Copies of this chain bind each other. A is one copy, B any other.
Amino acid sequence: MEGITIVGGTGAVGLELLEILAGRGISPERFRLLASPSSDGRTVPYGDGSLTVAVADVSTCRTAFTESSVVFLAAGAEISGRLAPLAVECGCVVIDNSSAFRSDPTCPLVVVGVNESTLENFRSPGIVANPNCSTIITLTAIAPLRKLGRILRITASTYQAISGAGAAAMQELEAQARAWASGDRLPMERSGRQMIFNVFSHDSPVDADGVNEEERKLERESRRIFADDDLRVSATCVRVPVLRAHSEALHLEFDQAIDPDAARAELETVNGVMVVDGRDGAKFPEPIDAAGRDEILVGRIRRDAGVPDGRGLAMFVCGDQLRKGAALNAVQIAEHLQRL
């Protein structure tokens, strides 16, 4: 059996990749786990046992890549930019979780369930880019509705979990909750801010137009994945004190009138989406219910009367940022390419 390399094996996405792959029954011998020097010699859980992590340097990477058919990169854009070409040189399919190759026209940008058909022309070795978590969650929820009409505009306000800022930030949010409960000073060394009992604008750089990088990703990647350069995207990306799952308030504009009941019925047929829209019991998607789940939860499906002619649709969606929003989609890409 051919090897599977994970770079960033001790990070939030790396650990989730391992949990999903363990669930697929993949033999532990196949893994080559690499991470930064601070993780040298660490072990991480895998099924009933554990795996040992090695330091990712050019030599260990080359060895691991040579023994592997698929490489998952989950250590940030800079490391992906350096290591992906090396992995391709070694003959691997690279599934990159960073933004490094998402705008590269030679690298497919794929949400499985939305545009995996673009993988038909993919030839190994090469790089497949895994989209941004918010993009994956948004498009998984709304792509099925394109059967009912063309989507002209997406207005998205996000309620993003701290998991997107990495495992250390998640630990600090938990530490802040404990410190608050004890009346101690809140630890802020990693995040630089109070996260508990607060929300804050997404912590990515803001450009000269006042748009942050997360919002730009949602714009750019949605257009590319929907293959629609005219798609208009208005996003406000915000973090909330939630551990794992992102939520989004979506307001959509179609080219024709959309019946909310027809939209709900369509979404109920889709694998990877779970409709949670219990108006009577007021049971709607919540991030604690989406955490650890493969499906994107969709609810509050209703007409958006702010758009004329019945062409508006609103909904609220939640998806596990580490699962479908990152690791699960990466694994699904590998499965689609028959690399597992």
A residues sitting closer than 8 Å to B (CB atoms) are 153-155, 157, 159, 177-178, 180-182, 193-194, 196-201, 203, 205-206, 209-211, 219, 232-234, 236, 238, 240-243, 247, 249, 251, 260, 277, 279, 282, 284-288, 299-307, 312, 314, 316
Contact across chains for B242 and A199 when beta carbons are under 8 A apart: yes
A205 contacts across to B, CB distance below 8 A:
282
A196 to B178, CA, bound (A): 12
26 A-B residue contacts at CB 8 Å?
A: A153-B306, A154-B306, A155-B155, A155-B234, A157-B157, A157-B236, A177-B180, A177-B181, A178-B181, A180-B181, A193-B286, A198-B286, A199-B286, A200-B286, A201-B284, A201-B285, A209-B303, A210-B260, A210-B277, A211-B302, A219-B305, A232-B307, A236-B314, A236-B316, A238-B249, A240-B240
| Residue of chain B at shortest CB distance from A180 | B177
| Residue of chain B at shortest CB distance from A208 | B279
Q: Is the interface of A mostly helix, strand, loop or mixed?
A: mixed
Contact across chains for A198 and B306 when beta carbons are under 8 A apart: no
A247 contacts across to B, CB distance below 8 A:
199, 238
Q: A180-B177, A199-B159 are in contact. Are A210 and B279 (CB under 8 A)?
A: yes
Q: Out of B209, B251, B277, B285, which one reaches A155, CB within 8 Å?
A: B251
Q: Out of B154, B201, B241, B282, which one reaches A201, CB within 8 Å?
A: B282
A203 to B281, CA, bound (A): 11
Copies of this chain, whole number: 2
Choose among A157, A211, A288 the residue with the greatest number of B CB atoms under 10 Å from its CB. A157
Q: A206-B282, A241-B241, A279-B210 are in contact. Are A177 and B201 (CB under 8 A)?
A: no
Contact across chains for A234 and B312 when beta carbons are under 8 A apart: yes
| Residue of chain B at shortest CB distance from A241 | B241
A209 to B159, CA, bound (A): 24
A219 contacts across to B, CB distance below 8 A:
305
Could you tell me the distance in whole angstroms from the C-beta of A192 to the nearest C-beta in chain B?
10
Contact across chains for B236 and A197 when beta carbons are under 8 A apart: no
A-B pairs, top 3 by smallest CB distance, nearest first, are: A210-B302, A234-B306, A157-B157
Could you tell me the distance in whole angstroms from the C-beta of A248 to the nearest C-beta in chain B?
9
A193 to B284, CA, bound (A): 12
A157 contacts across to B, CB distance below 8 A:
157, 236, 249
A198 contacts across to B, CB distance below 8 A:
242, 286-288
A234 to B194, CA, bound (A): 30
Choose among A234, A243, A279 the residue with the greatest number of B CB atoms under 10 Å from its CB. A234
Given contacts A234-B312, A240-B241, 16 further A-B contacts (CB under 8 A): A155-B155, A159-B199, A177-B177, A177-B196, A178-B181, A194-B288, A197-B288, A201-B282, A201-B316, A219-B305, A234-B251, A234-B305, A236-B251, A238-B247, A238-B316, A249-B249
